[in-house]
Amino acid sequence: MGTALMNVDQNSVILALVLGLIFLVLFEILRIHVSRGRTPPGPRPFPFVGTLPYFIKDPMGSARSIHQYGEMATVYIGRQQGIVLNTLQITKEALVQEASTFSGRPALPLIDWITNGLGIIMVTFGHSWRQQRRFALHTLRNFGLGKKSVEERVSEEGRYLVAEMLKEEGTTFDPKHVIQNAVSNIICSIVFGYRFDYDNKRFAYLLKVLNENFILTGSAGAQMFNLVPFIKHFPGPHQKMLQNTNELLRFIREEVKEHRQTLDPENPRDFIDAYLLEIEKQKSHEDSTFHEENMVMSTADLFLAGTDTTATTIRWGLIFLMENPEVQERCHEEIVQVLGYDRQPSMDDRDKLPYTYATVHEIQRCANIVPFGVIHATTQPTKLRGYDIPQGTMIMTNLTRIFSDKKHWKSPDTFNPENFLDENGHFYKPEAFIAFSLGPRVCPGETLARTELFLYIVTLLQRLHFSWPPNSPRPDMDGIMGVVRFPHPFKIVCCSRDAKY
């Protein structure tokens, strides 16, 4: 009798769970149906996970096709609604004309878990963000950003980069580490006050874990964390991300400790010195957001933003230049005609090198390293094109579509520097080139990135010729989707242009 009652109880529990699950699914389907009737059109979401399966399965295919739903499309990251802006016009309307409303950042559990809501890049639009960004931009300018001194650092590092590549002359090698190291050394010189040699094993390891985090953050595991944050208590790729982040923060804290011990208030050497002085200066202000943890995270943001994005663009650039050897040769000929083999380039040479300058921009357009831009969020309820947009809605810019729209580009689907040249062969920048975004949250490192891309690419093409190794397979041009779109691992062969070096 007892066994029978137990079986009945177990059956009742199972039935209740099944009925409850069915009810939840039906309720979710109804919620989705009602929600879709009030939002811009978009791909049909699945219960609980939204449209994530489409983007995880084929991220670039989704980026290329989402514009079919119109100038705005609705997507769902789990149950959280997002709006994709598919045209330049509506992007300007949102990010520029309604800037304060569309300049937030979404609440992403993974990012909040790692950053504790501190820093510059992913912090919400508000007082802390304004203080930290304003201070960072002012301090970076003081230490040479946009000035000849930073140009000189990039030019000098360009010489080191070429010399490092020439050590592998005629052999097959992966250029990833040397490019990352060269790019990172510029922001390191501004933030920490010095550069790192290419054979520094500790720094090589740090660059490796940073790159790993950039890939993991865009992975299916990271998206799962954002859907069910309680998995932070369990093993998984998110634990590796936290471990990698802690490695970087530990490195920065060690730098801060050393800077504090050797600080000369009359002669700040770099960003960390300047921040330590600002903490003291702001101590009496109740609304100050300057403290050591914010300093560490803001430094990490600058280090991250100043490393992988530009390095990734240059790596894509090598792929496009090897795939289009006639472009590579034309750039080299133009560079040598203006600079010869010995003079280092400067930003003043841009007007004299229109084809090469156009090629740098075309690399950025085709590399398209952030296909949906850095995600924004609405800071308050608003309307856009007649649709009600709730507060906290994620806003994405479909750069993939904008960078391939026939309205804006002569050759939207092929690598062609003519996209940035007028009928007289002079450089011009189409309005649709918004690689650094628009509005108040435009990339704070834009000036540095432009300087590095131009000077590094000119220096490389002046001194070296790049080609694919014999019979090597070409990488999948859709790349690997992380925080940025990375090229698949590839190897190159470089040869000296017979210059004195």
On whether both 316 and 203 belong to a single domain, the answer is: yes
The angle formed by the CA atoms of residues 482, 486 and 492, to the nearest 5 degrees, is 155
Query: In angstroms, rounded to a whole number, what is the distance separating the alpha carbons of residues 394 and 104?
Result: 9
Is 194 within the bounds of a domain? yes
Q: Identify the helix (H) or strand (E) that includes residue 243.
A: helix 237-262
Q: What pLDDT, on a 0 to 100 scale, did the predictor assign at position 54? A: 86
Is 483 within the bounds of a domain? yes
On whether both 358 and 392 belong to a single domain, the answer is: no
Q: Identify the helix (H) or strand (E) that includes residue 14.
A: helix 2-36
Q: Using alpha carbons, select from 265, 483, 496 the residue that is nearest to residue 372.
A: 483
Q: What pLDDT, on a 0 to 100 scale, did the predictor assign at position 166? A: 96
The enclosing domain of 175 has a CATH number of 1.10.630.10
On whether both 229 and 295 belong to a single domain, the answer is: yes
Residue-number span of the structural domain to which 199 is assigned: 117-368+403-496
Map residue 420 onto helix, strand or coil: helix
Is 95 within the bounds of a domain? yes
On whether both 92 and 137 belong to a single domain, the answer is: no
Query: In angstroms, rounded to a whole number, what is the distance separating the alpha carbons of residues 420 and 433?
Result: 10
Q: Identify the helix (H) or strand (E) that includes residue 402.
A: helix 399-402
Q: What per-residue string of b and e applies to 53-85 under the rule 16 or more CB within 10 Å gives b?
A: ebbbeebbebbbebbebebbbbbbbbebbbbbb
On whether both 407 and 283 belong to a single domain, the answer is: yes
- Tens-digit pLDDT string for the chain (501 aa): 555 545 556 766 676 666 666 656 665 565 565 565 678 999 988 887 888 888 888 999 999 999 999 999 999 988 888 999 999 999 999 999 999 999 999 888 888 888 888 888 888 888 888 999 999 989 888 887 666 788 999 999 999 999 999 999 999 999 999 999 999 999 999 999 889 999 999 899 988 888 888 888 877 777 788 888 888 888 888 888 889 899 999 999 999 999 999 999 999 999 999 999 999 999 888 889 999 999 999 999 888 888 889 999 999 999 999 999 999 999 999 999 999 998 999 999 999 999 999 999 999 999 999 999 999 999 999 999 989 999 999 999 999 999 999 999 999 999 999 999 999 999 999 999 999 999 998 888 899 999 999 999 999 999 999 999 998 888 899 999 888 899 999 999 999 997 544
The enclosing domain of 107 has a CATH number of 3.30.43.20
Is 16 within the bounds of a domain? no
The domain total for the chain is 2
Is 314 within the bounds of a domain? yes
Query: In angstroms, rounded to a whole number, what is the distance separating the alpha carbons of residues 54 and 426?
Result: 41
Q: What pLDDT, on a 0 to 100 scale, did the predictor assign at position 48? A: 73
Torsion angles phi and psi, residue 73, rounded to 5: -135, 145
* Residue 88 Cα to chain centre, angstroms: 20
Is 2 within the bounds of a domain? no
443 touches 305 (CB < 8 A): yes
On whether both 146 and 73 belong to a single domain, the answer is: no
* DSSP conformation class of 321: H
Is 233 within the bounds of a domain? yes
Q: Identify the helix (H) or strand (E) that includes residue 141.
A: helix 127-142
On whether both 183 and 99 belong to a single domain, the answer is: no
On whether both 394 and 419 belong to a single domain, the answer is: no
Is 34 within the bounds of a domain? no
